[in-house]
Amino acid sequence: MSIYSISSPLRKFITELGLAGLMFFECVLLAFKRPLKINYIVKQMEFVGVKSLPVVFLTGTFTGMVLALQTYYGFRKFGAEGLIGITVALSMTRELGPVLTGLMVAGRAGSAMAAEIGTMRVTEQIDALVVMSLNPIKYLVVPRVVASFFMLPVLTIISDFLGIAGGYLIAVKLLDVNEGAFLNRIYKYLEFQDIYMGLVKAACFGVIFSLVSCYKGFYTRGGAEGVGRSTTEAVVISCVAILVADYVLTSLLF
């Protein structure tokens, strides 16, 4: 069976997957090759990490708060209010911290990456790099992927912590759950493994959304309209890919 007998949307999908895979491998190779372009990476770390703080702050806190509220409603029915703390903590560290951080940062930073690189493509700035014998992947893609790989776990830790703090606030201060029960069970049952695996997932999500966004930007065609299309596709594909990868990673890691 030749590739041409496959229907055209499927063929396009396979081609794109292949190109994105190639970009990933080139990225990994170039990331370890000198010159390392540290200043480019630091700049992207600031953009992906520091500038995402407000968004992560809000989503983390409110997610923890609403989790406490919802589990209180359920657990109260059989007098298990004392388990609210550990439920919130496990949900945040294992699942919601990394996933929500991944989705929010993909929306914020991923769209910007696709739009910026897409604009550079349609205004021939990428060609200008090529003409100077400079590898555009090294200058544009590697710093973004490396920065996202390192910053997402950091943001996730913050989100985890804020989520638990938000849960504590609602459960202990608002709903009068016993403070000792809330905290003790967290100390006792939350394992380092839970946090660590969440951070591994977060790092993977960072690579996924930044690579998808850079890829979409890099292969943009057709002026301003093309940039708009790439940006939308980057965010949609990043989010779907994060959710799919979340399932796969969870089933592999835990």
Which positions lie near other proteins, rule CB under 8 A?
116, 119-120, 123-125, 127-128, 130-135
Neighbours of 247 (CB within 10 A): 9
Non-local CB neighbours of 17 within 8 Å, separated by 6+ positions: none
Instruction: Name which of 172 and 214 has its Cβ closer to other proteins.
Output: 214
C-beta of 21: minimal distance to other proteins in Å?
17
- Write down the least CB distance from residue 45 to other proteins, Å: 16
Which residue, 131 or 252, has its beta carbon nearer to other proteins?
A: 131
**Closer to other proteins by Cβ: residue 140 or 146:** 140
Checking 228-235 for CB contacts under 8 A at 24+ apart, the result is 230/114, 230/115, 230/118, 231/111, 231/114, 231/115, 231/118, 233/114, 234/110, 234/111, 234/113, 234/114, 235/106, 235/107, 235/110, 235/111, 235/114
CB of 205 to other proteins, least distance (A): 26
- Taking the least distance from each CB to other proteins, the nearer of 58 and 128 is 128
Shortest spacing between CB 35 and other proteins, in angstroms: 9
Question: Residues 6 or more apart from 31 whose CB is under 8 A from it?
Answer: 142, 145, 146
Among residues 112, 95, 80, 65, the alpha carbon closest in space to that of 185 is found at: 80
Question: What letter would DSSP give residue 34?
Answer: S
Token pair 């912590």 in the structure block, residue: 161
**Residue closer to other proteins (CB basis): 17 or 134:** 134
Supply the minimum distance, in Å, between the C-beta of residue 78 and other proteins.
58
Least distance to other proteins from the beta carbon of 80, Å? Answer: 54
User: Which C-beta is closer to other proteins: that of 136 or that of 163?
Assistant: 136
